[in-house]
Amino acid sequence: MKLTERDKKIIKRILYILVLGLSLGLIVYISIDTFTGVNFLENKNYMTFQMWVCVVFMIDFFVELALADDKWKYVRHRWFFLLLSIPYLNIINLWHIDFSPEALYFIRFIPLARGALALAIVIGYMTDNALSSLLLSYISITLSVIYFGSLIFFELEAPVNNMVPNYGAALWWAFMDATTIGSNIYPMTVVGKILGVVLAGMGMMMFPLFTVYITNWVQRYNRRNAPALFNAEFSDSAPDPDNM
């Protein structure tokens, strides 16, 4: 039975929502492990959950590939989806590859990048306006990066930086850095400094996009209400026949 375009869209949306839900599960796991100081490599439940999440991500990639009309085009545009779906931590743990704890902690977030993309796509479906879709998608990605960045910042900076006594300080730093306002917390580690540049760069990209969106919205509002305003002004300025 040949699937219609409507059927394909429904299947894709279901897959995106499934990917998004599993990504939220990973976020909860990572957050709990970070706040409680659990060694995630020794947490068998987490490692098993992440492996199956990545398996579902890969299934999603190949299902969408099968549904694509132009498969080579899909591969060219979405090949990084497959790379983000590989269970790197499980492979590293299985083969006993030696990485630093900081690098391993960072690798945990690779599958979440796939989830952030799914979130952007799902939010993009909520509106038919291309600019609104782009703005909402970018906001969702920015908030995801701010949260992930705050977790990484807290994990790496808290042991060596007395200006980061708790996670609240790390989250405050991430938001202030993304808004380019800055805070009185200065990163001490190399990763922390790199995160500062990344968050500030995303923030500087966000404000011009928001300005363009507001300008576009005002222009569409004026075009929509221009005829009514013209008619109202014309009726007010037209001479009254009874007074002629």
| Predicted pLDDT at 227 | 61
What is the C-alpha to C-alpha distance for residues 43 and 33, in angstroms, rounded to an integer? 9
SS3 content of the chain, % helix, strand, coil (to 5): 80, 0, 20
| pLDDT the model gives residue 238 | 47
> In angstroms, rounded to a whole number, what is the distance separating the alpha carbons of residues 178 and 146?
7
CA distance 124 to 24: 18
Cβ neighbours of residue 138 closer than 8 Å, sequence gap 6 or more: 120, 205, 206, 209
Cβ proximity of 102 and 50 under 8 Å: no
Rama region for 38: left / alpha / beta (φ>0; ψ in -120 to 50; rest): beta
At position 186, the amino acid (one-letter code) is Y
Residue 34 has, within 13 A of its CA and on its CB side, a CA count of 28
> Which residue from 2, 13, 4, 37 is spatially nearest to 124, judged by alpha carbons?
13
Residue 243: what pLDDT? 53
Identify residue 116 by its one-letter amino acid code: A
Under the phi-then-psi rule, with left for phi > 0, alpha for psi from -120 to 50, and beta for the rest, what region is 21? Answer: alpha
pLDDT mean by block of 10 residues, the chain; 244 residues: 84 88 90 87 88 94 93 93 92 88 86 84 70 77 90 93 95 92 90 92 80 77 66 52 52
DSSP tag of 57: H
Q: Which residues contact 143 (CB under 8 A, 6 or more apart)?
A: none
Burial class (CB in 10 A: 0-12, 13-18, 19+), 5: exposed
pLDDT at 141: 83
Rounded to whole angstroms, the Cα distance separating 236 from 183 reads 55
Between CA 177 and CA 150 the distance in angstroms is 10
Report the pLDDT value the prediction gives residue 239, as an integer from 0 to 100: 53
